[in-house]
Structure 1
Amino acid sequence: MRRKMFLLPNFLLLIGLLLSAVPAYADGIIIPQPPICHPGPCPRPIPISQLAIVYHHVDVEIRDQVAVTHVDQVFRNDNDWTIEGIYVFPIPKGATVNAFTLWIDGEAVDGKVLTKEEARQTYEQIVRDMRDPALLEYIDREAMQASIFPIPPGGESRIELEYSQILEADNGLIHYRYPLNTEKFSTLPLEEVVINVDVQSPQSVRAVYSPSHQIAVDRDGSHRFTVGYEEFDITPDKDFDLYYSISSEDIGLNLLTFKEPESDDPHGFFLLLAAPSFISEQSESVAKDVLLVLDKSGSMDGEKFRQAQDALRYVLGHLNPQDRFNIIAFSTGTDSFAQELQPAAEADEAIRWIDSLSAAGSTDINRALLEAIDMASRVRPTILIFMTDGLPTEGVTDRQMILQNVDRETFKAIRLFAFGVGYDVDTYLLDSLAQDNRGTTTYVTPDQAIDETVSAFYNKVSLPVLTDIEIDFGDIVTFDIYPQPLPDLFAGSQLILVGRYRGSGYETISLSGVANEDDLTFEYEGQRFRSSGGDDFLPRLWATRKIGALLSQVRLQGPDEETVAQIVQLSIRYGIVTPYTSYLVTEPMALGANAQEGIADHAFEEMLSTPMEFTGEKAVGRAAAESNIRSADVAPQLDSSSADVVRLI
């Protein structure tokens, strides 16, 4: 029989294959007994997982490395028959159960703790009954168990569980894991998953990071923070992992490494976390200059321009006392608030000036940027915020000439952050300007608010701590590092650096940079580069960022065979799915070197024959997606519908 492959239309070619499942333990599992059906026999076959999870709430309190986890789950029987069974929760190693209650019709039914031997017997009995043999992965763990009373069709059962564990610190890095992996045991998605983690530490907290899930972090001073994660209608396929670092240093640094055991690849993977101490006063941050470059051409007229004015008001209202600023509004020509940089004390006057602006005319991007750069200082860090909703239509309109002019005049201290408003922007121009000047591009779609987007961005960069960062890894050779160039470090943010390394052992890492025109260096002794094993999420995260960088290279510089081949190889090797392409392999298929080469050749031909678009909705969506991949903190997972049909090499 011929093997079939389907190329999703209108996308560039990449290969999306599922990487092998990461070993993990699941949250509570209900093992159903034979159902009770009235009248007559039950339908066949009977599924292993028969209960829907209405919600799964987890509240965690961590105090001085002691974690107390409270789990609240509600199961619902959506079948036409009554279900009864056994609820089993494999206890994390080293944890102590504080409470375990099963609620049936409003009444509490206590569970019991199984020893390792009792749990082993339970798991083996379930496997003998031809239920899921994957349960044997918990064979060396204690467990909680409770009998579930018959749940009628449409009925619900609630389970509450609380356990405590001590979290170990590895060179200042603390790791908490919650068992959220249910994919092996449930054919139904979780309707609601909520995890809240409240951490208080006697030592100052620096970095907060999850390699498994997108989290929201809210800091309350230097010793406390909360983390939130929430999703609906999902089937989790990995546990919830949270890392946080504690340090008395001004800038905390932690290192995670991984090297594949018994692999022919001699190179390892690393992730470096660097985070500054909490800054409570604006006066503690590095003095900076802020240049606001606003498009006031006719196409900005209306609500867009009002929101852009609100965005500028927000930035001016949140300047630090030692900051300086200026505003350049442009259309057919340019209009500046002042001839030179002004102290933060002049912000109120500048806000009144912004209120007097109106949108009219064409778009002279080249002139506006060159005038802004001419005002910048060569010694103080400069944040240049550039907002536009269109293409250059006045003065120099050729994008390559604009880029050459800016490149000739700009200098090391400038960080250019571009905001493309709507779909009529030149993504090539904006992305090139930002990447060439150590900044980022943010695309504001018509359904998004400009002022909210800009204010959220400015909150992240308003308090610079260290600029022009460089990192020395000692005798360890590092390469393929992302992001490049290294971004600045801001209060409340952190640097997440991934890369490859050659060698092993303990090294001193040096981090250097500039603060208030002073050169500073921080040294961190005893950083371990493993010779084998470690944190196995690192390869996919590194591959995700590298693919993002290569995709941007293809888009901005044009495709070449070597780069396309790298993208294909990385996609196959690490199972990275991108927004542009998926191959769904509907039958088992070995993708050896010849097959990969053929796929890469086909991809290259497709790219050459497909005109690259740099403006319009599709172009904006693609540019934004690439940016997300380049800066990903969590490797993307394969959509569950695709995971059923793809094959691993």
Structure 2
Amino acid sequence: MNALDELDAAARPRLWRAAKFLLFLLTEGAAVLLIGFAALFVNFQPAWSASLPPTGVARPGDAKSGSLLLKNEDGYSEAIRLGIDVDLTASGPTIRARVTQLFRNPSKDWVEAVYVYPLPPGGAVDTLKMVVGDRVVVGEIKERQQARIIYEQAKQSGKKAALTEQQRPNIFTNSIANIGPGETVLVQIEYQEPVHQTGNTFSVRVPMVVAPRYNPAPIVQSVEFKPDGGGWGASATDPVPDLDRITPPVLDPAEHAPVNPTAITVRLQAGFPLGEVKSHHHPVKTEKVDDGSQIIRLAEGVVPADRDFELTWKPAAEKAPSVGLFREHVGNSDYLLAYVTPPSVDNAMQKPLPREVIFVIDNSGSMGGVSIVQAKASLLYALGRLQPGDRFNVIRFDNTMTVLFPSPVPADTTNVGHATSFVSALKAEGGTEMLPAMRAALSDGNREDASHVRQVVFLTDGAIGNEEQMFETISALRGRSRIFMVGIGSAPNTFLMTRAAELGRGAFTHIGSTDQVEERMRGLFAKLENPAVTGLSAKFSEAKADMTPSVLPDVYRGEPLVLATKLDRLSGSVEIKGRIGDRPWSVTLPLANAAEGKGLSKLWAHRKIADAEVARTMRQSTPEDADKAVLALALEHQLVTGLTSLIAVDKTPGRPDGEMLKLADLPLNLPAGWVFEKVFGEREPLQKQPVERRADDARVQHAALKRPSPVAAAPAAVMLPKTATDADIKLITGGILLIIGLLLFMITRRQHVPL
């Protein structure tokens, strides 16, 4: 019996009808139905992908998680991939950092990669190494223009080259030329920085992302020259002349997965028994070593570079050491680093003067998200700490400004309540015009009033590019005011904060999460409410000393005085004197007791360079003299500055003649907690052509004022089109043809295939 005979009687008619139906499809209905299916599946490709892409070129659907695609004439190719490894060794008072950046080129092109990245403003960069295959090329310090010429010549000749340049003391750029198809190049820099101490807590901060900066539009004055040449000329003043070098492309987190994965390892050798060790913004795992030190690593292995890494540690004893003295011998000189924390004074023995406090809060677009929450919570806490007898005012700013009261008012219940309601209603939007707010805060109508201590508390993320204008404003207008900078958010501009606090004879506090608001603001008010140590001086008994800072600053409760000194010999002692309130204070340190330290000569030179820059800002030195001092120190101590760079060139040519070199500006993540639309404006449909915008166009607010928006012009942050294909037309056409085919089939079926 065959298979057909095995079917039951009910199944045989159904099978027979199905066979006749298939026979019909293969004859009379086949053409129409096949046309319909063909319309669904045939790919009418656009011009750039009419043929299969070569190796190394990807279609949008081929993108892997976390990868970027670059549009080119052949299609979309994967962008340069960057991996970062940060290795820190904290030895007593100093930190040696090694930052390794891995650049991998997955495309078929020869590429020049440019990456903008942050470093601590106190970091002295002195080493560059480039690893190509099994070759290690060590960089050299050159004057900036000379280093750039060497780099450009190597780039043109097809040689691999790496160039490390400083754009700000906390913003650097690595440029790597001639990375071949499928090739990986390692670039490693090293820097030295001091450990930071506040009270009983020691800390290190690793900035991981350069936040987008607000850049005020230039002021241009121009007139027409007269034919005789005796007329007026044209002049231009740009507050951010290096805008293109500090404005890398920024990824929209709604369109792209995070990039630039980063690993961090800290080898902590504190020099004393360790108590609590804490990472404030990243989960970590800790390994204890037999010698009492600890190794701290990120618990997740790698994390996106989108927020600062902060590690703090405390001694096992209740109190941290109040004095630290360290030495290093380099060449014919000795270098000394001293930490001295003055004792706290009992408030019961001395009643502090009432205060006039001017609170300034940044509510610009970059403060959107969690930053404005942190800033408002911090300011509300500060308002609640005002004492009877204090006076205060509140200023808020974005690209506009509001001064709450015409002049400072008493800190009574009514005024504080009004200020509380005002602050609670603030929203983040607009640009970051910081200068008018700082000028308003320093405007002092009671300059001769000695009955109140005048303090300015400035809460901001510092996301501006015209820092030098801020410093000049503070230097010119500070008067009797003391400026306390409160950095808000996951990636504040620490260079702006620390330099502004230094020029304003105040202090800098960072609040990176809402959990830190009360603790950090309590510490700030311990400084505000207690007398500073003033009138400080240092005298060496025997050695000839070149000390930095040359004029010692005031220090506040819990803060150490940090001295870096170059000595002709290590002998005798140093006596430090000052006044705590109206009481004299002094301490003497025998130099013979100094312990061995590492990298102290680099720290001394870096701080001397900062002194020269401050002297230029305060008009205590001419720009020419300041540059001369900076250049001499940088060349002698082999440091990267605004006038010197590190250059490394591989002597072996790599790029063949005739091969084009493509530029890739590596994009950065948006700092954690920021809101993209608050900074760059609302997203627009991607299929629309770009429209030229005016600065007064309200729709672009912060983005237009950032001059230009880094996202709009970023080749590495290409947003792939969502609706620019003809798939919808093909679906509709195919569906219509299928329906027609089925109708024809039904009609023909009734006429020819009765069932």
Bin the TM-score by the shorter chain.
0.3 to 0.5
Q: TM-score, normalising length from structure 1?
A: 0.44
Q: TM-score, normalised by structure 2?
A: 0.38
Structure possessing the higher relative contact order (Cα contacts under 8 Å, 6 or more residues apart): 2
